[in-house]
Chain A
């Protein structure tokens, strides 16, 4: 059972470069989320999508864009990476909206130099 799959696992960028983090789930979940994890700050919500075609900003959306390509896939794009975006990024999915159990991917460790 794959669950939530994130690619890549590691990435190093230079300031100003762009990249897309990919996320796919095979559990037929409606909701998908992108979080970033920084030491001492827990996980903070960047964007979430309650269903295909809808997205909503979370707590820290600046510098990011998302696409809910279909029910399975939810990508996160950094258009012009900054050192402040160095973090571990987690994608998650759930059947419903937020009050259900979240299933997490294994994370992407991103460093912006």
Chain B
């Protein structure tokens, strides 16, 4: 079975501050992990993807995430927030095996950026 938990449904930061969005996963096999972003009234777009090649994954728009197996975490960070980063962010896992073909999403975290 695979599952994802995102800690914090809302995160608020000031422009220029560090962004940290938390994601923990559960998987019985090495997982593929993803972060997607959803801007208002749009579909989801891929930010970055972990496929076991490297534990630190760099994505678009200055975001990155680190895979920590010991903590079963895949937190998303950005050193300096922009107003344009305001959106909803989803962590997702695919663990293959009987879950092959099925991507399980977390509950989402709404990021607000204050001037």
Contacts and interface: CB of A to CB of B under 8 A. Distances in A.
Interface of A: 4, 31, 33, 35, 40-45, 48, 50, 56, 58-59, 90, 92, 97-99, 101-102, 104-107
A42 B106 contact: yes
Contact of A43 (B6, B49, B90): B90
B102 A48 contact: yes
Interface string B77-106: 000000000000010001010011111111
B72 interface: no
Contact of B100 (A33, A35, A43, A97): A97
A32 to B, nearest CB: 11
15 contacts: A40-B107, A42-B90, A43-B105, A50-B101, A59-B102, A92-B43, A92-B44, A97-B100, A98-B100, A98-B103, A99-B100, A101-B49, A102-B44, A104-B45, A106-B42
Nearest to A33: B103
Contacts of B103: 33, 45, 98, 102
Nearest to B99: A98
Q: Which range contains the number of B residues in contact with the other chain?
A: 20 to 34
Nearest to B108: A42
Contacts of A41: 107
B105 A104 contact: no
B73 to A, nearest CB: 17
A41 B96 CA distance: 22
A49 to B, nearest CB: 9
Contact of B43 (A31, A101, A105): A105
B96 A99 contact: yes
A106 B43 CA distance: 4
B28 interface: no
Contacts of A44: 105
Contacts of A105: 43
